[in-house]
Every structure is written in structure tokens, then in C-alpha cells.
Structure 1
């Protein structure tokens, strides 16, 4: 088989040939939409979008009825060499990485929803695209149908982004929402998420925060024009969240959300960025508190534009396929009319802030000896570490014990960690019940 040129103008009738890698939930919806909206997509792109082949692991497996079986192949390596645009929806890193690199190096545009690949090997992929003049699109890699990648990469290219806070994993948001609204335990809420198809049989990537961390790395790289990999993102998942945590959050006027948080700091002589994933208390009045079920939302704080919120379905076949096809139309238009997607922008090269530099606020729940002077001892520990207390609330007492909740003012992560360590050593502190970040204040 000869390798066709990537110059669409040399093809009769103006055709952009598309190779699809993977035909699962999202891939099958991409096929359906390519067929159902063929005329509209051709008008928008300036050429017919022709599906050249669909690479799958098992060509004999049952497929959606609209998937043309004659296009199925298990030879992905050969398929990518025949295409103008390669849609990668397999996921993971190997054996996908060499396929994507081969496509880019041949001059084919790659459209991918693979956040793990981008977070681990983004610089390599961007470099391959730049060498060959190909495009690399990845709107579907973060928040499904929500156009936050486009917003950061293009719409806000003329602004300075100071912070990005996002609910970027629908599975964990569904679990926490069920715990908050129905009083379910973590295990019961996870089981319900699995029953409804929101969580995988092995939910580790979701509930331990790794999926959100990959997305946080991508968002931070775009927002701050700095290369951030998944290895740069400290992660805390949601397995330790209890029904008691949810009840305490409700009593204090908060909800608990798993957040991807990226901030740029440029004051007090400190310049750099922090990127984190953790469960956090969010005031019920905050926009992110109203994000329910498996939906995603990302707040962007920009110097000139102010606060923007991107909200919508963060997963699912049709919503994610919508994001994929948006990238495909843009890529095909470039093949027809010329031009390129924005290149990787890493000119800022901002350093990652250390825990001694990163500001944070925490809520700490303690079980204390209910004796005179105990609270003064606790306050003294905070003061010794240079951490100011915003509020103290007693939430219960029994059998000589008292339970209190302390919310701090802004301090550094390191100072807050030292405070908790010292509290756990204080004889009058029976137990450090929980420690949680506070956001949105």
C-alpha cells in the first residue's frame, strides 16, 4: 500500500481522510456523528471528512450497528500512515505513544482525548508536531464537552491567568455528591457510581485523584505557559472522606469537592506556580458547590477577564465525541485552507513552588481532653508555627472529651503541616480526626 500525501488539495473532491484509533463508548459516537452530520461537517471544514479506517484490538467483537465493519482493522500502525487526521481514543501510554508520534512525524494532525499521554509526554508530542508542521488537538482530554482547553489556549491567550480551580473528574464528584445529599458512605456511593456506569470496576485512577492530576497538569501548562507534568502534581484522593466529614461540612456551611487547583504567585518576592489535587471544603455560596452529579466545572481567574466558569458534562460518549469533532473540524479546515493550531507555549518557564512557599488554608478537627486550658494549648501550637486561626467551633463533648473544628487563615503548606504534626504530639489532643483544605473563600 502506498502512503498518500497529506495535501488535501491533491485529492479529488476535497477529502480529508480520518483514521480512528479505538471504537469504544466515545469512538463509536464519533463514527455516528461523522455519518449523521456529514454534510454539515463538510461545509464547516471545507472538505468531506472520510473515515479511512478504525483500528481496534478485536475486529470480531460486537459493535454498535452504525460502525462499518469493513473499516475495522487491527493494524493501527499501517492505518495512521494513510490519514490526514488521526483520532486517538484508545487511552493509556503504551502502545499508543509510538502510534501518535508516527502520525505526527508523518504530518498528520492528531486529535486525542488521552490525558495520561499528554500529562506524561506532552513536550515530546508537541515537539514532533512542530517539526512536521502538524496540529495537536486535545479538547476532549479535560472535562469532556466543556471547552476549557480552547478557552485557555486561545480565548485567554491575551490575558494573564492567575488561578484555575476545577472539578474535573465526574466519578468523584458523583460519589461526593451522593455522600453529601443522601448521607451514603464512601463505599456505598462508589458502588452506586459503578452500578450507574460512572466508575470503573477498578476505580483507582478516579478516587485516588490520578485522573484529576493528569488534567491539572494539562490545565496548568496551558494557563501558565509552563511545562507541568503529572509528576509535578501532589495528589490526595477521596477514599478517607467519611459521612462524618460530610455532616461537619454541612454544619459549617460547606460542601466537599475534589479539586484540581493551579495558582500563579508573583508577590512578596516569590514567583512561581503550585499545582495540586485534593478534597477541599467549598462554601455553599461558591459556584463550584452547585456542581452536582457527574458534571465538571472549571473556574478561571484572569487578570483582565476576571472570573470565568466553564461548566458541562465531563464524560460520556456523545458529549466527549462533540469535543473530539470540534477539534477534527478545526484540523480539517487547516488542511484545506492552511494554518495551524496554537503551538506549545512554555516561554514563562515558571518554577514550581515548594511547600514553604505555597499558601493554603485548612480545617482541622480535633478530639481534645475537656479540661481548662486545653484550647489555649492548641492555640499556642498554631501560634508557635506562625499560623493564625480564623475560627474555632465546638462540635460535641462526651466522657471528658471535646471535639472542635479549627479553620486557619492563609499560611504556607509547610507551616500547616508542622502545626498538625505538633498537635498530634500534644498530650491534651486525643486525636487529630481530620485535616482538609479550604478553598473558595
Structure 2
């Protein structure tokens, strides 16, 4: 039986995502009511510019006073899509205190203050859901938090930023340079006017923190995630990758240590074999590869951004939270019982691709090999080419710690025969 009194929803933000959430709530109202067991009603929309025309939204619902909206005692669910840390954090905690559950798409806030927000939700017996904070429409958080709750996740490896994937894919498939590919991404609307958050890995790092926390039942903050951007990736790097049967992706990698005693979370560009499923993720799509003990290897793929895909994830959470509300229950909260330490980047073990500019004369290769050996880094393959007294030396290593590789590179820079370290890239996904 359907309850006749509607569940009231307050919407904070009415930009690309918020306006699409409002549209779907209106056009799919009958279906949503049937799935939830009660009608849902948009009770208020908080915006910064109240005079802007918003098609399909009753102007009487629009307000600039977001605080007053979330303090209303009749609001059942607050949907937060304004982004940023403040005022979003204060508005969410205020909503909990006044009896509302919260659905958020705010990756930066969840990555930074997720533990405190979960604690506030628990204190007031309310839900905090945020499927839309990672990978847009791709169902990822709920499978990790619920479907794999009885399993042990060992690794999460993924492309979680569509802008950077579009740029790298363009560089790979067309031979474009970084700036040319970025200009194309900007023209097509994939990149913001200021793309720093994307290309320097901040966006992906926030998502990695969220994924690692859920996957390993451990609190992982944004500051715990090692981050490197992809602005230094060159056409020469792609040429080297192709010679190895690889391509280059900006990856978010969350891993449990082999002994299970710690975890790591990192974001950086990496070479990945063309045989790996992530290598074929094109344009602005996202994909996440999950490796667990019982389920094995799982891959989640789809559009990772945009108004409609993100709104789809928000509405999925809204339905779940409203069902909980009707049932007088709450869904899964924070699970951080494992409390595993987050290891520094120096302890990460992987393979490396190092490109060196060296003098083209006898003995150089032997000198370079000696440096690798002295730092405990085993060489897998070496490729050398030279002309007119200059040479390029490409070394691919076996697995070694990041600290050992860092020491190796520092020592290589001190060799008179090494004129420069052209690039260093990790090799993942093997």
C-alpha cells in the first residue's frame, strides 16, 4: 500500500546536476512513488541566483536561504549538489540535526570529512548516501558497501576522471600533444576553463580516498592519497608505451598490502597493457576494476560525469533513503572497523619505465646497470638508441619499491654520463 503523505525533498544547488535531478523527480514522479511506496515532493530549491529562469521548477520553491530550508522540520531528505567544503558541510550537519537524511554528490567533502559526517548522521539516526560522488552513473559505492560486504577486497584500480581519460585517449589515438588534446577537451565541454582539479589529479584523489575507505573498512582521508598529475605526459611516452604493448591512463589505485596489515591509495599516470580491460576505456568514460578474494575480478564501466548520469546516481540514492525513511530504518553507515594504517608511497611496489638521455659512448649502460643493482632494483629490459654522441636509454624494471626507485633515480642524476631523466612512469595492471 502507498502512503499518501509525500516525502519532502530539499534540493541544495540547481546547476547542471541539480536541475536534472529536479526534472527527473517531476517527469518520473509516478514511477518514483511506486518504487518508494510514497510520493516524493520537491519542497524547496536553494540557489545563489534566484532570478535565473529554471524550466520546470516552480519559482515559489526557489530560495537563497539554504540554512532556513534545511532547518524546516518537515524536510525528509536533503539533496546536496552544490559541491565544495563550505557551506555544504554546515548545511549537511544542520540537516541531520533537524531530522533530514542526506544524499550528496560532493566528493571533496566526503573525502575530507566523511568520518565526521557519518558520525553526525549516526548521532541523529539519519542516512548519508553519496553514490554520485564517485564515477557518475556507475553503480560502484553500493556494490562495494553492500554487494561485496561479505567478501575481502584486495585492490581497486580505475579510471575515475573523464576529462583526463579524454585527453590521454586523444594523445594516444591521434598523436596530439598534451596542450592540443586539452584544448579539444575544453572545446567539447569535457574540461573546465580551469582544468587543474582534473589534470593534476585532485578530483581522482578524492574519489580514491572514498573508494579505499569503503573497500578496506578503513578511514582514508584525501591527505592520505599520493597524487601526481598527467600534464608531463608526452608523445614520446606514448611511443614507448606502444613499443611495450601498453597505453597510458591516469589511474586511481587502492591496494591492500600482501600481508593484509596496511593499505595504500594513489593517483598517477601509468602504463597499462593493451590486454587489460582498462586500456580500452575510451574518450570521457570511466571504469573501475575491483579484485576481491571470493568474487574475483569485477569491472564497472560507464559515463563518469555529466548532468544526467550524475543525476541518475543521485536519484538511486534518493529512492533508497526514502525507502529507509518509510521503514523507520537507516542504511549502511561508515564501516571503519579494520582501522588499517595507510602506508606511504615509498612502500608501494610496482614496475617502472625510466627514460634516460645519456652520452653515446662505451660503458654507459654498465654504469647505469650498476646504479640499479646498488639500490636493489632489478632490470627487466633495456632499449638503447643513439646518434651524434647522444643516446636514449629506456629501462623497464621488475617490481621494486617506490623508495628504492627514487633512490636509483637520484643516483642516476649524479652520473656524468646521464644528461637527464626524460620520464619516469609506473607500469600497472599486469
Q: Which TM class, normalised by the smaller chain length?
A: over 0.9
In 2: Cα distance, 1:110 partner to 1:229 partner = 20
Is structure 2 residue 286 aligned with structure 1 residue 296?
yes
Q: Which moved more, 1:83-92 or 1:240-249?
A: 240-249
Alignment-derived partner of residue 39 in structure 2: 48
In 1: Cα distance, 2:96 partner to 2:191 partner = 32
Consecutive aligned runs of 4 or more in structure 1 exceeding 3 Å deviation: none
Alignment-derived partner of residue 404 in structure 1: 393
Which of 327, 342, 353 is the equivalent residue of 1:363?
A: 353
Which SS does the other structure have where 2:45 is aligned?
strand
Alignment-derived partner of residue 69 in structure 1: 59
Which of 217, 224, 228 is the equivalent residue of 2:220?
A: 228
In 1: Cα distance, 2:143 partner to 2:114 partner = 19
Q: Which moved more, 1:310-319 or 1:183-192?
A: 183-192
Distance of aligned partners of 1:372 and 1:362 in 2 relative to their CA distance in 1, 3 Å threshold: same
Give the TM-score normalised by structure 2.
Answer: 0.97
In 1: Cα distance, 2:393 partner to 2:15 partner = 49
Which SS does the other structure have where 1:249 is aligned?
helix
Please tell me the root mean square deviation across aligned C-alpha atoms, in Å.
1.2
Alignment-derived partner of residue 20 in structure 2: 29
In 2: Cα distance, 1:288 partner to 1:355 partner = 23
Which SS does the other structure have where 2:249 is aligned?
strand
In 2: Cα distance, 1:266 partner to 1:254 partner = 25
Alignment-derived partner of residue 80 in structure 2: 88
In 1: Cα distance, 2:100 partner to 2:176 partner = 48
Alignment-derived partner of residue 7 in structure 2: 16
Counting matched residue pairs gives 427
Contact 1:107 1:129 (8 Å CA) reproduced = no
Give the TM-score normalised by structure 1.
Answer: 0.95
Contact 2:137 2:312 (8 Å CA) reproduced = yes
1:126-185: per-residue Cα shift (whole Å, max 9, x none)? 000000110000000000000110111111100001000110000100111111111111
In 2: Cα distance, 1:251 partner to 1:355 partner = 28
Q: Which moved more, 1:73-82 or 1:310-319?
A: 73-82
- Offset at 1:70? 2.1
Q: Which moved more, 1:65-74 or 1:228-237?
A: 65-74
1:84-117: per-residue Cα shift (whole Å, max 9, x none)? 0000000000111100110122221100000000
In 2: Cα distance, 1:358 partner to 1:250 partner = 25
Contact 1:261 1:275 (8 Å CA) reproduced = yes
- List runs of 5+ in structure 2 lacking aligned partners: none
Contact 2:359 2:391 (8 Å CA) reproduced = yes
In 1: Cα distance, 2:22 partner to 2:228 partner = 37
Alignment-derived partner of residue 218 in structure 1: 210
